[in-house]
Amino acid sequence: MIEVAVRHTRGAFSLDAAFAAEGRVTALFGRSGSGKSTLVDVIAGLVRPDHGRIVVDGVTLLDTEARLRVPVHRRRIGYVFQEARLMPHLTVRQNLLFGRWFSRDRDGGPGLAAVADLLGLAALLERRPAGLSGGERQRVAIGRALLARPRLLLMDEPLSALDEARKAEILPYVARLRDEARVPIVYVSHAVAEVARLADTVVVLDQGRVAACGPAAEVLRRGALFPGRDTAETGALLQMRVAAHDDAFGLTHLDGAPGRLTVPSLPLPAGASVRIRVRARDVLVAREAPRALSARNVLSGTVTAVTPGAGAHARVEIACGEASLVAEVTRLAVHDLALAPGLSVLAIVKSVAFDEETIGVVEI
Amino acid sequence: MTPPLFLTPDEWSALRLSLLVASVATLASLLPGLGIAYLLARREFRGRAILDGLVHLPLILPPVVTGYLLLLAFGRRGWFGPALAELGIVFSFRWTGAALACAVMGFPLMVRAMRLSFEAVDRKLEQAAGTLGAPPLAVFLIVTLPLALPGILAGAVLAFAKAMGEFGATITFVSNIPGETQTLPAAIYTLTQVPGGEAGALRLTLVSVALSMAALIASEWLARRARGRLEA
């Protein structure tokens, strides 16, 4: 449980944000300049806010009212920075063990071997940071934070300095971290794909204020990620399970609340849990079953809401079983099909709409 | 008659004294130098500008003035002289006084180099160390100090070289007593003032040049080694 309430003014920028989050991964989402980094710096204790209160797992780290301020080094908050910030004069092993010595009077947490294994660092231990790739450095930074036995892990856009290939290399490690390390994580990002794959709770920051806060699926479905802006990045977040593989056609069938989905082949065993995002712009709406259709996913559901946008677009929310999908269609289509709450429709998604951006990682 | 390339006993004694004075001056200023350089590089406090000015004063003042001020302060009848003498510390007309004069004269050079190297250490690394649980003193010892090491060594070598060549403040403060306060430069000066001293002056000049070159090369080597560790 994390409770944060901060008021802080520096020059023209003012941050006035409060949120409470429970769950393994809380995403702080917002465009650059929205105050995300300042907020995590305040949580870590690197920035002293004018007013604030921070409680992590029942321990008060900051309370300006009560004149309480735990210094940075006693907060036990691991911080993975945008740039890895490894100590250049120490080896990977020494970097990893840096925080260990200062937390020697506490038990628990994974050991060096476990962390090196989790993050794929075993072969790098005797190297120095200058000889590592960007992705390797970031993995060392994550391991180093983890080994300091933190009560909370802050990750400030840990992937933003990396190219796409390196991002794809690290993201699974972060997901494993979430599932195996049992440390709550606050993950700062402005990438929808990262938030959709990792977060349980999403806090959306806009110009220093909290614009939305809630469970990831709900915030994504409401299209609240980009306040004041219509975007096709919104969509549904679905929890699915691998049902079967179709090796002949290179497909994987997934079962879940909305029914069966067919997606390009996933390298996962049957029964594995997977999180997928169905972008609103990838969903078609039909009133009757189309014939001879190339799209492989046709889900029947009921329209629950129709929200016309400012321009040509409209959002249609469709309940499919327990799940809820969002479709972005034109207002003209809403008119022609007479889409209205209560209407039975079919939601259609092309299998090829599912790609690396939308298919998430294994969950426990 | 001594062969022209070998040092006379007096010249050896000047060389030994200079090395002793310079070593003591450098070692004694190391800790205060580090402390003040770190304060100037990393802390905001009242009187910072005054401290900065005070440290740099010997760089700008004529050395004779610095020497005379030392005499006023630490002379036998100076402001602090009698009190220190009771504690058994005597500077006037002793080699310890020469070391004090050399330390004061070399201090600004040392602090300058150290301060620059502290300022060059990325504060983000220090912050990162803090989030890993390291208290401020540990951050200084495990992160800041090792990363600033090349500049710190350069500062120490610079102060040593300055001490080897210090003349004005030393001769004003503790005079020019062979075997006690007559350092290399003072000995060279004395030799140039007596008939037939040219050969000795030249020999000591060559020694001076050789020592300065050696100090320079040593500092380069140390700095390169320290940097090399970061790039390995």
DSSP letters, B196-231, are T-HHHHHHHHHHHHHHHHHHHHHHHHHHHHHHHHHH
User: How close does chain A come to B139, measured CA to CA in Å?
Assistant: 10
Domain boundary among A180, A198, A222: A222
Judged by CB atoms closer than 8 Å, whether chains meet at B229 and A89 is answered as yes
Asked casually if ipTM beats, i.e. exceeds, 0.90, the reply is no
* CATH number of the domain where residue A83 is located: 3.40.50.300
User: How close does chain A come to B157, measured CA to CA in Å?
Assistant: 22
Could you tell me if A121 and A175 lie in one domain? yes
Give the per-residue pLDDT at A360: 59
A183 inside 8 A of chain B by CB: no
- Chain A to chain B, count of Cβ pairs less than 8 Å apart? 71
Q: How far apart are CA A41 and CA A354, in angstroms?
A: 36
Q: How many CA atoms within 13 Å lie on the side-chain side of A33?
A: 3
Judged by CB atoms closer than 8 Å, whether chains meet at A73 and B146 is answered as no
Give the per-residue pLDDT at B3: 55
pLDDT at residue B5 is higher than 70 = no
Domain boundary among A169, A193, A222: A222
Domain assignment present for A66: yes
Of the candidates A88, A130, A148, which has its C-beta nearest B132's C-beta? A148
What range defines the domain where residue A291 resides? 235-363
Residue range B86-94: average pLDDT?
82
- Chain A partners within 8 Å of B147 (Cβ): 88-89
User: How close does chain B come to A286, measured CA to CA in Å?
Assistant: 54
The shares of helix, strand and coil residues in chain A, as percent rounded to the nearest 5, are 25, 40, 35
Give the per-residue pLDDT at B232: 52
Q: How far apart are CA B68 and CA A326, in angstroms?
A: 87
Give the per-residue pLDDT at A363: 43
What chain B holds in terms of domains, given with CATH numbers, is: 9-231 (1.10.3720.10)
A143 inside 8 A of chain B by CB: no
Q: How far apart are CA A299 and CA A302, in angstroms?
A: 10
A88 inside 8 A of chain B by CB: yes
Domain assignment present for A323: yes
- H helices present in B91-167, as ranges: 95-120, 123-131, 136-139, 145-165
Domain assignment present for A121: yes
Residue of A nearest to B148 (CA): A89
Could you tell me if A206 and A242 lie in one domain? no
Please count the structural domains in chain A.
Answer: 2
Structure confidence by residue, pLDDT tens digits, B126-161? 999 999 999 999 999 999 999 998 889 889 988 998
- pLDDT per residue of chain A (364 residues) written in tens, 0 to 9: 889 999 999 888 899 999 998 888 899 988 888 888 899 999 999 999 999 999 998 899 999 998 999 999 999 999 999 888 999 999 999 999 999 888 887 777 778 888 888 888 899 999 999 989 888 899 899 999 989 889 899 999 888 877 777 777 777 777 777 777 778 899 998 888 788 888 889 999 888 888 888 888 888 877 767 766 656 567 788 888 888 999 899 899 999 888 888 988 888 888 888 888 888 888 899 988 888 888 888 889 999 989 888 788 888 989 888 888 888 889 998 989 899 999 999 999 988 888 766 765 544 3
